[in-house]
């Protein structure tokens, strides 16, 4: 290799390293497990690092409105990113659905939940965990299901609400609630529910849980932010999402 070619190669490597940056990402709690794996693969493949914060989409909306420096939002719904875009807090034309979530009625106890969810009608439980429907789209979907089954009022005294779907899962996983409406991604791997028992709620029993991504204003000129959004559309990220029970 000539000196000139070596210098050009070294300069390209230096520039590539200099351009490798961090991206601050607000991630819906239901997407915790797949996003941790995606972030690891993203770092290996691009050199960029995704700094992840997990929580309720409604809470992230309030934080972004109040100036939180997130550069990318991966929401648990489509409405919140659309609202942020309308309010001038997101970059127009960057919003897209990265996944469709699935809801499951789950118990850590094997055999507790039947395949049709009839356990809800039996009332043979003390507590039912769900995410706050005002903050978390999975909580809103759970209420859709209960209203559709005519059980929302009857079961209301048994509700234990978490601020987000991660807290709802913790209530059910620790046994503080015998049953919980959680994200399928929290209990699903290798094509099946990994522990306990569950009823994968038919998608027609609630509004679609379209999960949208949005480039936020602080990420407008950040290469890592745009690179992450592109990576989410790629085959590797999509394979990780599918393995966690998401529809695409």
Distance CA 216, CA 72 (A): 5
Both structure tokens of 128: 């039912």
Q: What is the pLDDT of residue 11?
A: 35
Per-residue CA distances from 174 to 166, 196, 207, 247 (Å): 12, 12, 28, 28
Which residues, 6 or more positions from 24, have their beta carbon under 8 angstroms from its beta carbon?
Answer: 51, 53, 69, 70, 71, 72, 218, 219
Backbone angles phi, psi at 59, to 5 degrees: -70, -40
How is domain 103-200 classified at the architecture level of CATH? 3-Layer(aba) Sandwich (3.40)
Both structure tokens of 113: 């939940």
Answer whether CATH 3.40.190.10 is correct for domain 7-100+208-243.
Answer: yes
Backbone angles phi, psi at 164, to 5 degrees: -145, 180
Question: How many other C-beta atoms lie within 10 A of the C-beta of residue 233?
Answer: 12
Shared fold status for 7-100+208-243 and 103-200:
yes
Alpha-carbon radius of gyration of the chain: 20
Indicate the length of the chain as a whole number.
Answer: 248
Distance CA 138, CA 186 (A): 12
3-class secondary-structure state, position 124? coil
Q: What is the pLDDT of residue 190?
A: 75
Q: What is the pLDDT along the chain (248 residues), one digit of tens a residue?
A: 443 343 333 333 333 433 559 999 999 988 999 999 999 999 999 999 999 999 989 899 999 999 999 999 999 899 999 999 999 999 999 999 999 999 999 999 999 999 999 999 998 999 999 999 988 889 999 999 999 999 999 999 999 999 888 899 999 999 999 999 999 989 987 788 889 999 999 999 999 999 999 999 999 999 999 999 999 999 999 999 999 989 88
Q: Where are the domains of the chain?
A: 7-100+208-243, 103-200
Which residues, 6 or more positions from 49, have their beta carbon under 8 angstroms from its beta carbon?
Answer: 20, 21, 22, 23, 39, 43, 224
Distance CA 203, CA 145 (A): 10
Q: What is the pLDDT of residue 123?
A: 87
DSSP state of 133: T
């Amino acid at each position: 290799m000539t000196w000139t070619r070596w210098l050009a190669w070294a300069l390209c490597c230096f520039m590539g390293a200099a351009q490798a940056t961090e991206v601050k990402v607000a991630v819906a709690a239901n997407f915790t497990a797949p996003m941790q794996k995606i972030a690891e693969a993203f770092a290996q493949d691009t050199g960029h690092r995704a700094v992840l914060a997990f929580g309720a989409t409604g809470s992230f909306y309030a934080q972004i409105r109040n100036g939180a420096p997130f550069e990318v939002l991966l929401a648990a719904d489509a409405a919140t990113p659309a609202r942020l875009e309308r309010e001038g807090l997101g970059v127009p034309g960057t919003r897209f659905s990265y996944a469709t979530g699935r809801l499951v009625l789950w118990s850590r106890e094997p055999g507790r939940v039947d395949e049709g969810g009839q356990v809800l009608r039996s009332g043979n439980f003390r507590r039912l965990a769900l995410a706050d429907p005002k903050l978390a789209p999975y909580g809103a979907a759970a209420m859709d299901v209960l209203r559709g089954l005519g059980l929302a009022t009857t079961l209301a005294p048994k509700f234990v609400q978490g601020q987000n779907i991660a807290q709802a899962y913790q209530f059910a996983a620790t046994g503080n609630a015998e049953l919980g409406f959680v994200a399928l991604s929290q209990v699903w791997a290798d094509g099946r529910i990994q522990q306990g028992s569950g009823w994968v709620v038919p998608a027609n029993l609630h509004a679609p849980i379209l999960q949208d991504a949005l480039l936020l204003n602080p990420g407008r000129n950040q290469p890592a932010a745009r690179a992450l959004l592109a990576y989410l559309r790629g085959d590797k990220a999509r394979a990780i999402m599918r393995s966690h029970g998401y529809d695409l």
